[in-house]
């Protein structure tokens, strides 16, 4: 697959920016010759993400609102590779951060789009080599996670610890638990 993108940022004010990421993705697959405006991971077509980022200094919040591509090894209790539409608010300093994320994700490895997510996540780096990530998520059940997509939303909790040995090796692990259906 090839993905060529132009990412642009417009400074709205000292604390807010508008972003437009426009690209073209081609899967080089003979099975998917259809082009569309929102291709999945194996699709071909144009991609467009528009979002705003900014800070609310009096509240101590950073915000990201709109549609963007998200790849995050810490996200929502599992590795996330998706197109995300919604809002993410971050509170805290480098030593301890809290993330509130609300919206919908289109997972590239899933058979269904528009999977809902509401997540409260905490991140604490002990030092340059060690951190912990823990939180809860109330998300759509996902076939890609061996769940019945028709069961509605599922409550998850998780904790991940991470240790970086050197530039080439690191280890991340921890419990990930599906709690109940909603």
In order, the DSSP letters of 160-180 are: EEEEE-SSS-EEEE--EEEEE
Average pLDDT over residues 115-130: 90
Report the predicted TM-score, pTM, of the whole model to 2 decimal places: 0.81
pLDDT of residue 158: 86
**109 touches 80 (CB < 8 A):** no
Please tell me which of 49-53, 106-110, 117-121 the model is most confident about, judged by mean pLDDT: 49-53
Distance CA 141, CA 81 (A): 16
Average pLDDT over residues 6-17: 95
Give Cα separations from 123 to 68, 75, 100, 144 (angstroms).
21, 10, 12, 25
pLDDT confidence bin for 110, thresholds 50/70/90: low
The proportion of the chain whose per-residue pLDDT surpasses 70, expressed as a percent, equals 78
- The answer for residues whose C-beta is within 8 angstroms of residue 58's C-beta and 6 or more apart is none
Average pLDDT over residues 86-115: 81
CA torsion sign, 21 to 23 to 27 to 32? positive
Nearest one of 166, 101, 17, 67 to 9, comparing CA atoms: 17
Apex 150 CA angle, 147 and 152, nearest 5? 85
130 vs 35: which has the higher pLDDT: 130
């Amino acid at each position: 697959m090839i993905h060529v993108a132009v990412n642009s940022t417009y400074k709205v004010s000292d604390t807010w920016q508008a972003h437009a990421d426009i690209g073209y993705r081609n899967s080089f697959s003979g099975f998917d010759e259809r082009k569309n405006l929102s291709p999945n991971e194996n699709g071909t077509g144009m991609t467009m993400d528009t979002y705003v980022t900014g800070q609310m200094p009096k509240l101590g919040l950073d915000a990201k609102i709109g549609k963007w591509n998200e790849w995050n090894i810490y996200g929502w209790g599992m590795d996330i590779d998706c197109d995300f539409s919604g809002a993410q608010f971050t509170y805290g300093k480098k030593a301890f951060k809290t993330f509130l994320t609300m919206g919908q994700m289109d997972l590239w490895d899933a058979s269904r789009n528009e999977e809902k997510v509401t997540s409260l996540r905490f991140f604490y780096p002990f030092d340059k080599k060690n951190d912990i990530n823990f939180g809860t998520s109330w998300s759509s059940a996902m076939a890609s996670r061996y769940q019945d997509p028709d069961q509605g939303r599922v409550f998850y909790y998780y904790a991940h610890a991470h240790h970086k040995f050197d530039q080439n090796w690191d280890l991340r692990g921890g419990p990930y638990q599906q709690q109940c259906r909603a």
